[in-house]
Structure 1
Amino acid sequence: MQSAVKPVIGPRKEVTDLTGRVAIVLGGALGIGYEISRAFVLNGARVIMVNRKEEQGDEAIKKIKKEAGDNANIEWIPCDMEDLKQTKETFTKIRSEEKRLDLLVLSAGINANQYSETNDGIDRHFQVNWLGQFYVCNLLYPMLRRTSKLPDTPAPRIVFLSSELHRATQKAVHFTSLDEINNPKMGPAELYGRSKLAIILGVKYGLLERVIKPNKDNIYALSVHPGAVNTAMQQQWKDAYPGITGKLITSAMLAVGRDVEQGSFSALYAATSPDIEERGWNGYYLTDPGEKGKESTQASDPHLGAALWNLSQQVLKGKLGDDAVIDWNAIA
């Protein structure tokens, strides 16, 4: 949990010139994602925001253009991370139409809540916070590889939003089967924590160790903790823990939380700071701009990371067919 002092002092904001670069921001029309989209546009990038609801996208574009001017290069595309088929169709289309991708920020997500399953029959936290966004990364990776080979182009970056609440994961988590994932006996914080643990593992022991290093790709992948942030997601604690407990947790989070713009700073740093390449911080988990996080023991377990990677691809193939996951060596 963030200290009450930190939201006032805040982490530093750092965004470099992004003229000519293309960014895709999942969850880009709301909360932290909106602030990331806004910062990218104000610094010259072309931005594609992806959210569920059209009114969210329309309102975000209106607000950003009011600040950046009508010529701001921003658009919105609908997609629901609870629908794997829709995810496949949406991002396959983007891959076929776009010429480059420099920045991929995966900030869609749900907060801790009661157990429920998506229409795909998967724990909602796991699918929205990890599996769906992992799949987006797979579908768009050929674009990142192509962009990385362009002359005079900074290394593309992939940034996932994780959380210090990855520490709330049950010790019995092994990522061995979908039956294990679909466990209605797990509490809201444990479900949420497991999905955020998956992000740290997936970045470090999946993308970095199983894709970027073997391919010798000039691409950086990171996960970040935004801090306790005063977004609408904090209200979900009331659904997660009905009654006085949920109200108390919500009040506590709002009392110590950062404002939404401050909540975007870690992701903006990971996505744009020259420090990342200069320090060789590939696969790292950051808790503030320039600050390496101290992962839990589970988040530092390469065997758990391998199991997650294998299970994630297995589930996608089981739900969408053997050709669902595209070749990580492909170039669009």
Structure 2
Amino acid sequence: MVNLEGLPNPDKIFDSWYPILIGIVIGVLYGFRAYFRGAQCYSATKLTGKTAIVTGASSGIGEQIALDFAQRGARVILACKNEEAAKETVEYIKRKSKKKHDVVVLPLDLSSFKSIRKFVETFKTMENKLHILVNNAGTMMGPQKETEDKFEEQFQVNYLGHFLLTNLLLDVMKSSGSGRIINVTASAYKLGEINFDDINGEKEAEFNSGKQFSQCKLAVILFSQELARRLEGTGINVYCANPGITNTNIHRHFVFKTNAFVSLSFSPFTWFLMKSAYDGAQTAIHCAVADEVKDSTGKYYSECNEAVLESQAIDDDLAKKLWQESVKWTRLERDATAVKSLNSGDS
């Protein structure tokens, strides 16, 4: 016989409401945490034989996207500015995915048109196929900074650099038979306005980094829609993915990242209310692999579902004007490989 002497009496547990209340609180907190994590991509699609490029893949969302693609069997090119961090990511992905040779780093600095052109040239000497391009790299609300190409850093890194990169890679994607382009945006686009007369925000009385960030994220959506229109019938689909509020290095200029005391104080809240990089990657992964979106193009996705856009983001005339100006800003017409794709959608 088991000796129960000295053990708590189970019947006494219900003499107090505290255990029940504690259980309810834990359950509610777990439910809220699951809600803030957002939707997950459950597609089992394999990417064996496919080649993918992920920009900004040395950390955060880009790292998780690259890992997912590698685990599905793809050859993954990490297009990153920080080569040392990217090399560490390669080793991490190889360990997690058991892939030894199909995860490589190519240097890419989106704040330099020269670097973008060099990246494309190098890629084309290495590869003859490209099936997935994820334009994920970005910067957010840092101090005012001008790139070597004379553009405000956020506008070039988040939008204009990806515009150039995508157009220079279209010939390879078209020759691959089919493909998907995923452009990462943010809910801040809702506050955006494309100011063609002051695209760098230089005429403002005081530089507004938030306004510039909203502008470039709106530009990403307009670009995605115009690109989808120009690629109709080619087998290449375009998607715009909103990862949600994610706790990654993109917030490196925010006080909860720069101040050690504030960071420590707010760490429980950032963990609870913000997505992890894994969770933030899910919508972009869904757009890249899910069968249910294979016949969709030019759409905006949030939480792995198609979402409704604000009116300023579905203005066809604005999208066409932005495209035309972007061609001039990037001097894209001088790139022979891009001329055909540029002219194909001008009607």
Which band: TM-score by shorter chain?
Answer: 0.7 to 0.9
Check conservation: 2:39, 2:303, Cα contact below 8 A.
no
**How far did 1:254 drift?**
5.4
Q: Structure 1 9/88 Cα, relative in aligned 2: closer, same or farther at 3 Å?
A: closer
Aligned to 1:152: none
Selected match of 2:86 from 35, 53, 57: 57
Q: CA deviation at 1:12?
A: 3.7
Structure 2, unpaired ranges of 5+ = 1-31, 343-347
Q: Which of 263, 267, 274 matches 1:257?
A: 274
Match of 2:231 among 209, 212, 220: 212
The answer on 1:326 being equivalent to 2:345 is no
Sort the Cα spacing of 1:312 and 1:245 in 2 relative to 1 into closer, same or farther, 3 A. Answer: farther
Amino acid at match of 1:122: F
1:180 counterpart letter in structure 2 = I
1:235 offset after TM fit, Å?
3.0
Decide which of 273, 290, 298 is 1:283's aligned counterpart: 298
The count of corresponding residues between Structure 1 and Structure 2 is 308
Q: What amino acid sits opposite 2:327 in the alignment?
A: Q
Using CA pairs under 8 Å that are at least 6 residues apart, name the structure with larger relative contact order, 1 or 2: 1
Structure 1 residue 73: Cα displacement: 1.3
CA RMSD of superposed structures (Å): 2.8
Q: Distance in 2 between the 1:162 and 1:250 partners?
A: 25
Q: Is the contact made by 2:138 and 2:250 (CA closer than 8 Å) also made in structure 1?
A: no
Structure 1 match to 2:164: 135
Instruction: Say if 2:202 is the partner of 1:180.
Output: no
1:301–1:321 distance in 2 versus 1, CA, 3 Å = closer
Q: What residue is the counterpart of 2:26 in the other structure?
A: none
In structure 2, what is the equivalent of residue 198 of structure 1?
219
Q: Distance in 2 between matches of 1:55 and 1:132?
A: 21
Range that drifts further, 185-194 or 83-92: 185-194
Structure 2 distance, partners of 1:80, 1:223, is 22
| Bigger Cα displacement from structure 2, 182-191 vs 4-13 | 4-13
Q: Which structure's CA Rg is the greater one?
A: 2
Secondary structure (helix, strand or coil) at the match of 1:181 reads: coil
The one-character-per-residue Cα deviations of 1:22-65 (angstroms, maximum 9, x if unpaired) are: 00111122110000000000110000101111211111011111
Equivalent position to 1:311, from 325, 336, 341: 325
Answer yes or no: is the 8 Å Cα contact 1:41–1:72 preserved in 2. no
Matching residue of 1:110: 139
Paired AA for residue 231 in structure 1: T
Report percent identity of matched pairs. 24
Residues of 1 paired with 2:212 and 2:266: CA distance? 17
Return the TM-score normalized by structure 2.
Answer: 0.81
Q: Post-superposition shift, 1:238?
A: 3.0
Secondary structure of the structure 2 residue equivalent to 1:236:
coil
Q: What is the rounded CA distance, in whole Å, between the counterparts of 2:98 and 2:47 in structure 1?
A: 17
Q: Which amino acid aligns with 1:61?
A: V
Q: Deviations over 1:60-97 (max 9, x none)?
A: 01111112225251000111111111111211221243
Segments of structure 1 that go 5 or more residues without pairing to the other structure are 149-154
Query: Match of 2:182, as an amino acid?
Result: V
- Asked whether the equivalents of residues 224 and 240 of structure 2 are also in contact (C-alpha less than 8 Å), the reply is yes
TM-score by length of 1: 0.84
**C-alpha distance in structure 1 between counterparts of 2:113 and 2:313, whole Å:** 26
Preserved CA contact (<8 Å) 1:156 1:218: yes
DSSP-derived class of the 1:121 partner: coil
Cα distance in 1, alignment partners of residues 172 and 217 from structure 2? 25
CA offset at residue 200 of structure 1?
A: 0.5
In structure 2, the CA distance between the partners of 1:59 and 1:311, relative to structure 1 (3 Å rule), is same
Equivalent position amino acid for 2:181 in 1: I
Give yes or no for contact 2:167–2:341 (8 Å, CA) kept in 1.
Answer: no
Change in 2 beyond 3 A, CA 1:58/1:302: same
Q: Is the 8 A contact 2:251 2:257 kept in 1?
A: no
Distance 1:165 1:266 in 2: 17
